[in-house]
Amino acid sequence: MSVTAVDEDPTTQARESDWAVETHNLTKRFGASVAVNGVDLKVPRGCAFGYLGPNGAGKTTTIGILTTRVRATAGRAVVAGADVGVAAVTVRQRIGVVPQRPNPDRSLSVLDNLVFHAAYFGIAHSRATARAHALLEQFDIDDRAEAKVDELSGGQQQRLMIARALIHEPRVIFLDEPTVGLDPQARRSLWDILRDLHAQGRTIVMTTHYMEEADRLCERLAIVDEGRLLALDTPASLRARAPGGTLVELTLDGDAGPAAEQAKTVPHVTGVSVRDGVLRVYSDRGGQVIPALIDLVQSGGRTVNNINLAAPSLETLFLSLTGRKLE
Ligand SMILES: Nc1ncnc2c1ncn2[C@@H]1O[C@H](COP(=O)(O)OP(=O)(O)OP(=O)(O)O)[C@@H](O)[C@H]1O
Ligand SMILES: [Mg+2]
């Protein structure tokens, strides 16, 4: 007789890991295009973590893999101590997800959206109802408990999605662009909610387009573009890595390539990059380099349509890494 007494799920043994999320070479291809490209990521437990990247960077796809909605093409991800590829049910029990597009059940009341969701996790009806009311109260929508979802404002619906993500007391919460489309007041109130969740010791993983939001809320930030992880550090350390000097940005009426070559020879220019007719120059003398830059652009037969100056910041680091603006 063979002995097969060990039925412990080997993928959940990393339960006491220091990492809420750990990925190795995480990769997702859609046909020929690579949405997530060999990402190695570690998110400490209890961390507020931001995933920053422009449109199409692969943020939603990455969150999709980490939350078991999308299957990776290659690589591995362990979330809240369980492997998403082989223990998806365990992962789902330990995480809450606020998707990029709110997807409440619009045929149900606000309250029932929470109670029905709790049922998926085997939470008894009476306990689910009590917890749902507590969450609705916490998020200031308990007076709308019996309303249909469509009767809520955008900000209220977003808070309902967060309440739903929390109904089973998950350890890790994923939020994909949680404040897009919210007015400034609703955005601030959501920030307060996220700070409270973080103070309770939960791990928060959020994607955002908003540098200010990432900087205010997150202890660690990943900068991604075209599926690749370009930088991963604290906001302060990332800021310290921003290219020195002022960023001088000139928008030309055509190809900025030839001007870029010449710009490198201008005194006090410390770095040059070019993308889509925009010439970006780093200067250790602020805007003093501008006349020389305009001269060389004009002598190349082009016109400067716009000039922009920016001090070193997360935004200028992002630009230097991706060649693109975040917002
Ligand atoms: N189901 C799919 N089929 C084919 N391609 C896809 C699919 N989902 C995503 N992609 C592609 O993968 C890339 C990454 O998309 P993803 O939605 O992850 O980016 P994102 O960073 O979340 O962008 P956004 O800021 O616009 O939400 C894009 O090029 C997108 O077109
Ligand atoms: Mg997205």
**Is 111 domain-assigned?**
yes
The DSSP H or E segment spanning 50 is: strand 48-52
Q: Could you tell me if 198 and 293 lie in one domain?
A: no
Ligand 1 mutation target, pool 28, 29, 60, 98, most atoms within 8 A of CB: 60
Which residue in 58, 54, 61, 65 sits closest to 22, CA to CA? 65
**Number of domains the chain contains:** 2
Ligand 1 mutation target, pool 26, 59, 71, 224, most atoms within 8 A of CB: 59
- For atom 17 of ligand 1, the residue with the nearest CA is 60
Pick from 193, 213, 237: which residue ends a domain? 237
**Is 165 domain-assigned?**
yes
> Which of 101-130 are b and which e, b meaning 16 or more Cβ less than 10 Å from the residue's Cβ?
ebebeeeebbbbbbbbbbeeeebeeeebbe
Residues 231 and 66 sit within 8 Å (Cβ to Cβ): no
Cβ–ligand 1 contact at 61 (below 6 Å):
yes
Instruction: Read off the DSSP letter of residue 148.
Output: B
pLDDT per residue of the chain (327 residues) written in tens, 0 to 9? 333 333 344 444 444 578 999 999 999 999 999 999 999 999 999 999 999 998 899 999 999 999 999 999 999 999 999 999 999 999 999 999 999 888 999 999 999 999 999 999 999 999 999 999 999 999 899 999 999 999 998 889 989 999 999 999 999 999 999 988 888 888 888 899 899 999 999 999 999 988 888 999 999 999 999 999 999 999 988 888 887 788 999 999 999 999 999 999 999 998 899 988 999 999 988 889 999 999 999 999 999 999 999 888 888 888 888 887 776
Written as six digits, the tokens of 110 are: 């606000």
Q: Which residues pair with 275 in a beta bridge?
A: 278
Q: Could you tell me if 105 and 36 lie in one domain?
A: yes
**Is 324 domain-assigned?**
no
**AA letter at 236:** A
The CA 210 to ligand 1 mean position distance, Å, reads 18
| Domain of residue 250, residue span | 243-311
| Nearest-10 Cα torsion for 69, 70, 72, 76 | -20
Placement of tokens 């990521």 in the chain: 41
Q: Could you tell me if 231 and 120 lie in one domain?
A: yes
Cα–Cα distance, 41 to 77 (Å, whole number): 9
Minimum-distance ligand 1 atom for the alpha carbon of 63: 18
Q: For residue 7, what pLDDT is reported?
A: 36
Q: Could you tell me if 231 and 249 lie in one domain?
A: no
Cβ–ligand 1 contact at 57 (below 6 Å):
yes
The CA 59 to ligand 2 mean position distance, Å, reads 5
Minimum-distance ligand 1 atom for the alpha carbon of 57: 21
For the domain that residue 26 is a member of, what is the CATH number? 3.40.50.300
Q: For residue 16, what pLDDT is reported?
A: 56
Q: For residue 85, what pLDDT is reported?
A: 95
- For atom 4 of ligand 1, the residue with the nearest CA is 30
Q: For residue 246, what pLDDT is reported?
A: 87
Q: Could you tell me if 219 and 109 lie in one domain?
A: yes
**Is 66 domain-assigned?**
yes
Q: Could you tell me if 216 and 86 lie in one domain?
A: yes
For the domain that residue 257 is a member of, what is the CATH number? 3.30.70.100
Q: Could you tell me if 280 and 150 lie in one domain?
A: no
Pick from 178, 212, 237: which residue ends a domain? 237
Q: Could you tell me if 233 and 266 lie in one domain?
A: no
**Is 2 domain-assigned?**
no
Cα–Cα distance, 318 to 53 (Å, whole number): 9
Report the SS3 class of residue 29: strand
Written as six digits, the tokens of 245 are: 């000097």
Cα–Cα distance, 24 to 34 (Å, whole number): 16
Q: Which residues pair with 248 in a beta bridge?
A: 281, 309
Q: Could you tell me if 141 and 252 lie in one domain?
A: no
Q: Could you tell me if 124 and 268 lie in one domain?
A: no
Written as six digits, the tokens of 26 are: 């995480």
Minimum-distance ligand 1 atom for the alpha carbon of 28: 12
- For atom 14 of ligand 1, the residue with the nearest CA is 58
Cα–Cα distance, 326 to 54 (Å, whole number): 5
- For atom 11 of ligand 1, the residue with the nearest CA is 35
Report the SS3 class of residue 194: helix
Pick from 237, 267, 282: which residue ends a domain? 237
**Is 96 domain-assigned?**
yes
**Is 171 domain-assigned?**
yes
Cα–Cα distance, 144 to 112 (Å, whole number): 11
Q: Could you tell me if 103 and 75 lie in one domain?
A: yes
**Is 325 domain-assigned?**
no
Q: Could you tell me if 137 and 87 lie in one domain?
A: yes
